[in-house]
């Protein structure tokens, strides 16, 4: 796998020189556009392994990419699709997925519909979180956009209604409302976490209904918004039982878990003036779920926020920094799962201070160098980047990490 | 007092500079576009892909220049985005399936030629550019 990553990295470093424009072609009098992107990262941490990569030894296992094709069939109707693939430590594992595939009909500027597999609009960056070439940062604030939980929010199979309503001197409103089914990757952070408990997930997903409303305010450069999402999620698979009390028993039996309540609320703001951009978001995620075939219940109340700033110093250089906070309250009736008594315990929070330099080598090729200074690891019962399985000798309370990530797109 | 005068002079100077900049750009459209004028809000909406038609119902498709003084002035005065921010914005739409990358051309003459032959096309050129075969839209 390491050799494969090295080869991909080498290919990536050659590609930008070969590719410097989008690829267009015409078929049946329709113009088609093909675009693609890829990124490769190297992470090195002083102690804990992060995001299932072997970062304490230095890891190149951070690669992703995608390719899309789209066309405008009529003035109001467009179609397109994108395939995405990734390998990040033990996540993704080179299993390509259909990232989005949509048919989009815009009746009016204030009313359009799109259906198929649609990227989910939530907050500032949910639908673009995996497009590293768009971001200043090598990793977006992981409290809000966790790489290991990408597939749980990235898209839904269903439909959106959307539009832009001008408010004249009061700016403009953009809205999106959606409903559909979410289907998580079996190679994401949550299935990886459940392996720790002997659970092998075969299907994880369910109903998703949500809305996003954002207001372009009369103050030039200021955008504010709010998102809300309700979900009904069910996971099925198998659990490996190992009973050692009394007569020894081992076996595999069907497993299920489901959410009784699964809700996300998010508010956000962005201010741009000249070459400076400031983002801030707050999210509260509440989940009440039945686990272990309904024999136990876990409630989780996750609260996260971040503030980020980025300044483009020149055409080639952008500098950025953010402070990201993740904290949770949870209650479990699973034997042995006991929450630490207060939030100051490293198992109850994860705070990350980050500094980044992004260098745009060409219009289509960039390199980012980023330092992470993390306090806490937020426990082993929630997928938050630090996993017991990736850290068999235990997790230290603090982690420093340097991440170098290069990416191209055309 | 002296400092205040200097500040006032500089302030007025900046204002005049901006006006000159805005006047340096002409908005042009294909003859199929029915409108004869366009508001700054409409123009911004068209070039940020949130608007695909003008108030008269004409469908419009934006055309951009790759760079140059007209491009810089247009971004600053009408879109309020830097070149890299605009490119990032378009890519975010393209890679989430919400829009196509707009046509981008090298110079005023290329933009005029493309707009002249493309139904619904709308673009911008320098104020002194020859605009035969296209209509110039007044700013409301």
Q: What pLDDT does A105 receive?
A: 97
**In chain B, what are the domain boundaries?**
2-139
Of A102, A131, A220, the CB nearest to B95: A131
Q: What pLDDT does A240 receive?
A: 87
N-terminal to C-terminal alpha carbon distance within chain B: 39
Question: Which tokens belong to A408?
Answer: 């191209």
Name the minimum distance, in Å, from the CA of A127 to any CA of chain B.
7
Percent of chain A with pLDDT over 70: 93
Question: Taking residues B53-73, what's their average pLDDT?
Answer: 92
- B4 shares contact with chain A (CB less than 8 Å): no
Please report the ipTM that was assigned to this predicted complex.
0.88
Quick check: B22 pLDDT over 70?
A: no
Quick check: A332 pLDDT over 90?
A: no
Question: Taking residues A378-403, what's their average pLDDT?
Answer: 92
Q: Which residues of A touch B53 (CB under 8 A)?
A: 108-109
Quick check: A18 pLDDT over 80?
A: no
Instruction: Band the pLDDT of A381: cuts 50, 70, 90.
Output: confident
Q: What angle (nearest 5°) sits at the alpha carbon of residue A140, between those of residues A139 and A144?
A: 135
Quick check: A298 pLDDT over 60?
A: yes
Q: What pLDDT does A17 receive?
A: 43
CATH class of A2-409: mainly beta
Residue recorded with tokens 């015409």: A26
Q: What pLDDT does A3 receive?
A: 53
Q: What pLDDT does A249 receive?
A: 59
Instruction: Band the pLDDT of A24: cuts 50, 70, 90.
Output: confident
Cα–Cα distance list, A99 to A84, A85, A133 (Å) = 5, 9, 17
Identify the three-state secondary structure at position A273: strand
Q: Which residues of A touch B45 (CB under 8 A)?
A: 109, 164, 166, 172
Q: Which of A23-27, A83-87, A167-171 has the highest mean pLDDT?
A: A83-87
Q: Which residues of B touch A128 (CB under 8 A)?
A: 92, 95-96
Instruction: Band the pLDDT of A13: cuts 50, 70, 90.
Output: very low
User: For the range A8-13, what are the long-range contacts, defined as Cβ-Cβ under 8 Å and sequence gap of 24 or more?
Assistant: A8/A38, A8/A40, A8/A63, A9/A40, A9/A60, A9/A63, A12/A38, A12/A39, A12/A40, A12/A406, A12/A407, A12/A408, A13/A406
Chain B residue nearest residue A102, CA to CA: B97
Q: What pLDDT does A35 receive?
A: 96
Q: What pLDDT does A247 receive?
A: 56
Average pLDDT across chain A, whole number: 91
| Phi, psi (rounded to 5 degrees) for B44 | -65, -45
| Cβ pair A306, A324 in contact under 8 A | yes
Q: Regarding predicted confidence, which is higher, A334 or A109?
A: A109
pLDDT in tens, A85-133: 999 999 999 999 999 999 999 999 999 999 999 999 999 999 999 999 9
Question: Taking residues A241-268, what's their average pLDDT?
Answer: 83
Question: Taking residues A324-339, what's their average pLDDT?
Answer: 81
pLDDT in tens, A270-280: 999 989 999 99
Contact call for A275 and B94, based on CB within 8 A: no
Quick check: A245 pLDDT over 70?
A: no
Chain A residue nearest residue B58, CA to CA: A75
Q: Which residues of A touch B46 (CB under 8 A)?
A: none
Of A108, A134, A277, the CB nearest to B92: A134
Contact call for A33 and B101, based on CB within 8 A: yes
pLDDT in tens, A100-110: 999 999 999 99
Of B81, B82, B94, the CB nearest to A35: B94
Q: What pLDDT does A151 receive?
A: 94
- A76 shares contact with chain B (CB less than 8 Å): yes
Q: Which of A45-49, A248-252, A337-341, B79-83 has the highest mean pLDDT?
A: A45-49
Name the minimum distance, in Å, from the CA of A120 to any CA of chain B.
9
- B18 shares contact with chain A (CB less than 8 Å): no
- Three-state SS annotation for A369-410: EEEEEEECCCCCCCCCCCCCCCCCCCCCCEEEEEEEEEEEEC
pLDDT in tens, A57-73: 999 999 999 999 999 99
Instruction: Band the pLDDT of A344: cuts 50, 70, 90.
Output: confident
Architecture label for domain B2-139: 3-Layer(aba) Sandwich (3.40)
Contact call for A82 and B88, based on CB within 8 A: no
Q: What pLDDT does A41 receive?
A: 98
**In chain A, what are the domain boundaries?**
2-409
Quick check: A193 pLDDT over 80?
A: yes
Q: What pLDDT does A248 receive?
A: 58
């Amino acid at each position: 796998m390491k050799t494969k990553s090295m080869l991909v990295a080498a290919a990536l470093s050659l590609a930008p020189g070969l590719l410097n424009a989008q690829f267009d072609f015409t078929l049946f009098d329709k113009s088609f556009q093909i675009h693609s992107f890829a990124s490769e990262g190297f992470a090195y941490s002083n102690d804990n392994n992060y995001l299932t990569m072997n970062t304490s030894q230095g890891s190149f296992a951070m690669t992703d990419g995608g390719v899309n094709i789209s066309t405008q069939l009529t003035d109001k109707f467009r179609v397109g699709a994108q395939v995405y693939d990734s390998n990040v430590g033990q996540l993704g594992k080179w299993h390509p997925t259909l990232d989005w595939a949509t048919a989009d009909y815009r009746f009016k500027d204030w009313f359009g519909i799109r259906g198929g597999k649609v990227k989910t609009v939530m907050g500032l960056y949910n639908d673009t979180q995996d497009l590293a070439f768009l971001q200043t940062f090598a990793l977006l604030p992981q409290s809000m956009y966790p790489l290991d939980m990408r597939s749980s929010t990235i898209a839904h199979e269903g439909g959106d209604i959307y539009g832009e309503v001008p408010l004249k001197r009061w700016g403009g409103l953009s809205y999106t409302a959606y409903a559909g089914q979410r289907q998580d990757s079996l190679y994401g952070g949550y299935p990886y976490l459940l392996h720790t408990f002997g659970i092998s997930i075969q299907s994880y997903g369910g109903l998703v209904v949500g809305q996003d409303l954002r207001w372009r305010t009369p103050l030039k450069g200021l955008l504010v918004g709010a998102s809300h999402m309700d979900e009904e999620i069910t996971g099925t698979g198998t659990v490996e039982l190992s009973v050692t009390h009394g007569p020894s028993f081992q076996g595999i039996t069907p497993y299920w878990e489901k959410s009784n309540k699964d809700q996300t609320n998010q508010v956000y703001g962005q201010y741009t003036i000249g070459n400076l951009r400031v983002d801030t978001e707050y999210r509260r995620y509440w989940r009440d779920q039945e686990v272990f075939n309904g024999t136990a219940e876990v409630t989780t109340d996750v609260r996260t926020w971040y503030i980020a700033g980025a300044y483009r110093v020149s055409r080639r250089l952008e500098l950025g920094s953010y402070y990201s906070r993740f904290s949770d309250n949870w209650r479990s009736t699973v034997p042995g799962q006991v929450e630490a008594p207060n939030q100051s315990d490293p198992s109850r929070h994860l705070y990350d201070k980050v500094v980044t330099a992004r260098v745009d080598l060409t219009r289509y090729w960039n390199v980012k160098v980023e330092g992470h200074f993390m306090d806490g690891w937020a426990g082993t019962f929630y997928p938050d980047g630090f996993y017991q399985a990736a850290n068999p000798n235990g997790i230290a309370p603090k982690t420093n990490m340097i991440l170098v990530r290069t990416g191209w797109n055309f | 007092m002296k400092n205040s005068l200097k500040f006032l002079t500089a302030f007025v100077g900046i204002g005049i500079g901006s006006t000159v900049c805005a006047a340096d750009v002409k908005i042009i459209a294909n003859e199929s576009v029915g409108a004869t004028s366009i508001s700054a809000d409409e123009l911004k909406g068209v070039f940020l892909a949130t608007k695909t038609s003008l108030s008269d119902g004409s469908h419009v498709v934006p055309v951009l220049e790759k760079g140059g003084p007209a491009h810089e002035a247009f971004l600053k005065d009408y879109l309020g985005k830097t070149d890299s921010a605009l490119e990032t914005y378009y890519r975010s739409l393209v890679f989430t399936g919400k829009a196509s990358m707009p046509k981008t051309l090298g110079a005023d003459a290329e933009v005029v030629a493309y707009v002249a032959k493309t139904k619904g096309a709308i673009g911008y050129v320098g104020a002194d550019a020859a605009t035969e075969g296209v209509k110039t839209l007044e700013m409301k």
